[in-house]
Amino acid sequence: MRGGLPALMMTFIFMCSGCVTPTVDTLSMNQSQEQEPPSEPCNGLLILCLRTYDDVTFPETHNAFSTHQDGIYYPASNHQTGLDAQWNAGMRAFMIDTHYETLGDEQVETVRLCHGDDDRGFSPCTYGNVNSVDWLTDLNNKMDQNPRDVVTLLVENYVQADHLKSVFELSKLYEKAFIHESNTPWPTLQELIEQNTTLVIFWEQGGDSSHPWIHDFLTHSWTTNFAEENTEDMNCDLLRGDVGQEVFHMNNWLRGPLGLSDPSRGEEANNVDFLIQRAQECWQQHGKRPTFIAVDWWEDGDVVAAAKAINELENLE
């Protein structure tokens, strides 16, 4: 028995030594399979599925709700047409401003999308406003119909964080929100889609640990300058935020009289060749493509085509 025990143990070890290898091979094979391009596109292109969120360029509308179609007119407006037209054209990132309809009346029911600030002592909703829950519900429905599209919202917020959360809950968007841990790698679009977290939300009001679903814009990303007088004045330098972050907004609209957005030069600012050239300059300067190209008067020029062209570049040429 003493002599047979080692032999028996060696036999057992020999039999089990082949039991571990297939598991490792299977894991490697699974990892390899995970890298295979999906059969369905993400945000319109197959090549984007395996790219990380920060390595995709999204066309973005500045003050997306502030449109003539939504009953907000110049000088408070930034576009002619609203969410339906923007979405159908391919916009997948939207800047919005949240205010109370009347100063002092702070309720979830009075949260509106309005363009401006409260510095004049009254709500900018006086100039026109859009029901926040209705607008966000419309966005949620569009996302449900297009489950392979990742969407971003940048919120300039003037309401209580709990009220903002309630608005997102009422619109059903809250359940789609992705929570990103600061200074960690961003997931791929495919991973966001598989996790059913296809909405990334930033805001400009600073960090709030009780609301991790709202990412502080200035610590998770950065932005270029905005509202220059001429396209020649536009550059890729830091205006606000942490330039060490991978996500950044390339703001791209011109100012007119009184510093307001100039509706007469949308074609100039949103020219496809100009946008591509500028995006490549930013890529050259910062080592990565812009995450967002934000525009006013999106109907002029073609920011969607420009973003597609930038996304189709695997490397900077």
**Domain extent for 186:** 46-311
Question: In terms of Cα–Cα distance, which of 184, 182, 196 is closest to 149?
Answer: 196
> Omega into 75 within 30° of 0, i.e. cis?
yes
Is pLDDT at 120 greater than 80 in this prediction? no
DSSP state letter for 67: B
* pLDDT confidence bin for 37, thresholds 50/70/90: low
Q: What is the pLDDT of residue 16?
A: 39
Q: How far apart are CA 195 and CA 316, in angstroms?
A: 30
246/229 Cα distance (integer angstroms): 27
CATH number for position 287:
3.20.20.190
Distance CA 62, CA 178 (A): 22
pLDDT value at residue 118: 78
For residue 11, is it within any domain?
yes
Q: What is the mean pLDDT of residues 36-53?
A: 93
Question: Are 146 and 256 members of one domain?
Answer: yes
For residue 216, list its beta bridge partners: 203
Out of 35-44, 261-270, 308-317, least confident range = 35-44
The answer to whether residues 119 and 254 belong to one domain is: yes
How many other C-beta atoms are found inside a 10 Å radius of the C-beta of residue 110?
18
The answer on 10 and 55 residing in a single domain is no
pLDDT at site 260: 87
Domains identified in the chain, total number: 2
- In single-letter form, the type of residue at position 194 comes to E
Is this prediction's pTM over 0.85? yes
Backbone angles phi and psi of 222, in degrees to 5: -155, 175
How confident is the model over 130-188, as pLDDT tens digits?
Answer: 999 999 999 999 999 999 999 999 999 999 999 999 999 999 999 999 999 999 999 99
